[in-house]
Amino acid sequence: MARIALALIGLVTSGCDGGGAGGVLFHDDFSGSFPEPNWVGDGEVETMFGAPLPALRLAPIAPKAFARVQMANPIQVGGGLVLRFSVAVPAESSGQIFLEDVQASGQPLAGFTFRGVGEIAYEITGIPGAVQPLGAHDGMFHEFELQYTKNGASSWSRDGAIQVQGTAVNQATLTRLSVQTGAVVGLVFDEVELGPR
């Protein structure tokens, strides 16, 4: 099943695989406490669905029309990073998953948007024309991976196949993962890892 990788410098968390040179520095499979210490924001642990169980379900709860969760601490980009995660998105869902540039007022560094019409619009900041392949709105888990180098060279892949690549205009040094949705059906997010490239 899908694995998600996020590398956080100096953060020891529940579910952490343990840091080390060239190894995974941050890993959350949502089997520990939520949201602290890893996250701030909305969401609830999903015990009936995951890749593997459990996972994080993100959906707005009335009276809110919007739900968002983000990493509690920024990630040091260093010489580059690899972000992996799995997500299950129903056909009617929409939402965004992105790394934001902490030093540029939260401007997205790279990310993608799930659209309710069965499209995914990938983004690498400054690259014109988002790639919008159909699929991955089947409610099953799919694995996504972002490769980002210090000079901004980046690529997004889904289930091992590259979807878009290029060089980001802004070259961030600190970044933070954010996930958000306004869709009532929400999305389910799991196996987040981040490590050095």
pLDDT at position 130 = 61
158 CB contacts (<8 Å, ≥6 apart)?
Answer: 120, 133, 136, 142, 143, 144
Tell me how far apart the alpha carbons of residues 93 and 109 are, in angstroms, rounded to a whole number: 23
CA-CA distance, 148 to 59, in Å (whole number)? 28
pLDDT at 8: 25
Neighbours of 130 (CB within 10 A): 14
Question: Three-class SS of residue 102?
Answer: helix
Per-residue pLDDT of the chain (197 residues; tens, 9 = 90+): 333 222 222 222 333 333 334 577 789 999 999 999 999 999 999 999 999 999 999 999 999 999 999 999 988 887 889 999 999 888 778 899 998 888 877 777 788 888 766 778 888 877 755 655 555 567 789 999 999 888 888 999 989 988 888 888 767 788 889 999 998 989 999 999 998 88
pLDDT at 22: 58
- Look up residue 74 and give its DSSP letter: P
CATH topology of domain 26-196: Jelly Rolls (2.60.120)
What three-state secondary structure class fits 173?
A: coil
Contact 71, 34 (CB under 8 A): no
So where are the chain's domains?
A: 26-196
DSSP string, 81-114: EEEEEEEE--TT--EEEEEEEGGGTTEEEEEEEE
pLDDT value at residue 51: 92
The reported pTM is 0.82
The candidate with the shortest Cα–Cα distance to 123, out of 146, 104, 149, is 146
